[in-house]
Amino acid sequence: MSLEKTPAETCVLVTGGAGFIGSHTVVELLEGGYQVVIVDDLSNASEKVLGRIAQIVGAEAAERLSFIRADVADRDALETVFETFAIDRVIHFAGFKAVGESVSKPIEYYSNNLGNTLVLVDVMRAYGCKDIVFSSSATVYGDPDALPLTELSPKKMATNPYGWTKWMIEQILSDLVVADPAWNVVLLRYFNPIGAHGSGLIGEDPKGIPNNLLPYVAQVAVGKRDCVHVFGNDYDTPDGTGVRDYIHVVDLAAGHVAALAWMNGRTGCEIFNLGTGTGTSVLEIVKAFSAACGRELPYVIEARRPGDVTANWADCTKAHELMGWTAKRGIAEMCRDSWNWQSHNPDGYED
Ligand code: UFG
């Protein structure tokens, strides 16, 4: 049973806290009064994020932030973290996340994502910390039979190793609760996080050619890529292009703070969808981003991308009713903030 504590008394370990969703969550946690320890090996993140976070939250709040550069799978390093800090709760983001890459590197994906989680929960248990929020994904729903997706919608077969790691880690964490009811597990299933912090100081910084739609569109807008490639316009959707539930990353980050508050003093395993409940097509995104950047962005229609589902969007009633959380920002604001970040940081965190 986790003890009820105020945010000021609560020390949160954020694995992968220098990444896209992690960094935005750290900002919300610091602004919410929490003590935060980031463990990140910077394999897909920049150390510059730390200075930017401090700039956003101010010097006083930044004093509550510590950063340890380490791989979560490094047991000795993780034990040192638990020796040094009195960790109360963990938010676990660290993991490889490129769908396409996972198909060509299954061993690396299973080894890293499952391996680091197993080390993490084993060390947590050794130090008596049993509260964990896991960064899961709507990918566990596979190709949906019915929309919107609720937490009771069936989990389906994953279509790639990345998806399987999310699927399996959910299973591992729920098995922990069965074995030891003192565990307190929250599985957050994200829909499609986009946008950036309103300050334009932190945002998504993909390495190489972006796999996801929004960072690609943003790079077209900034002139780094010629045109948007729309993967398929023959889906059974209003304009024929794929439909997703895009959620502003700051709303998503706030969902983690809501989860920490909700799980305070509880035990068990609970699942929450984090989305907006609204589906948006690829062409609608191109249009919204064009409006945000003030220029018609060129696009070409390509073949469907293997493994893509036609449409998905969330029913987020549960998160609203239990945690009092709801996404506030719409597509226009997501595109505006993404453009603000991209236009001020055309090369991401690189000089
Ligand atoms: N798309 C394009 N062109 C691009 C990239 C994407 O048309 O250059 C389309 C896709 O076909 C899809 C939509 O834009 O219809 C969204 O694609 P993303 O790659 O941005 O996002 P996905 O929905 O495929 O994937 C996201 C996360 C995954 C997660 C998955 C589960 O990135 O981590 O949702 O729902 F597994």
Q: Residue-wise pLDDT tens for the chain (351 aa)?
A: 456 899 999 999 999 999 999 999 999 999 999 999 999 999 999 999 999 999 999 999 999 999 999 999 999 999 999 999 999 999 999 999 999 999 999 999 999 999 999 999 999 999 999 999 999 999 999 999 999 999 999 999 999 999 999 999 999 999 999 999 999 999 999 999 999 999 999 999 998 999 999 999 999 999 999 999 999 999 999 999 999 999 999 999 999 999 999 999 999 999 999 999 999 999 999 999 999 999 999 999 999 999 899 999 999 999 999 999 999 999 999 999 999 999 999 999 997
At residue 196, the pLDDT reads: 98
State which of 135, 305, 310, 335 you would mutate to test the pocket of ligand 1, scoring each by most atoms of that ligand within 8 A of its C-beta: 305
The dihedral through the CA atoms of 103, 107, 110, 111 has a sign that is negative
Coil, strand, or helix at residue 256?
A: helix
Take residue 346 and report the two structure tokens written for it.
Answer: 């055309």
- Identify any residues that bridge with 136 across adjacent strands, giving them in sequence order: 189
Catalytic residue among 34, 109, 141, 162: 162
326: amino acid identity, one letter? T
Q: What is the pLDDT of residue 143?
A: 92
- DSSP letter for 149, please: B
Count the neighbouring beta carbons within 10 Å of the beta carbon of residue 173: 21
162 classed as catalytic: yes
> What residue ranges line ligand 1, CB within 6 angstroms?
97, 99, 137-139, 163, 192, 211-213, 216, 229-231, 242, 244, 282, 305, 308
First-last CA distance in the chain: 46
- Provide the pLDDT for residue 4: 80
Q: Please name the residue whose Cα sits nearest to atom 27 of ligand 1.
A: 192
Instruction: Return the pLDDT at 1.
Output: 44
Strands, DSSP E only, in the chain? 11-15, 35-40, 65-69, 89-92, 131-137, 184-190, 192-194, 228-231, 243-244, 246-248, 268-274, 280-281, 299-302
Q: What is the pLDDT of residue 2?
A: 53
Ligand 1 centroid to 307 CA: how many Å? 10
Rg for the chain, CA atoms, rounded: 19
Q: Residue 3: what pLDDT?
A: 60
How many angstroms does the Cα of residue 126 sit away from the middle of ligand 1? 38
Query: Which ligand 1 atom sits closest to the C-alpha of 241?
Result: 15
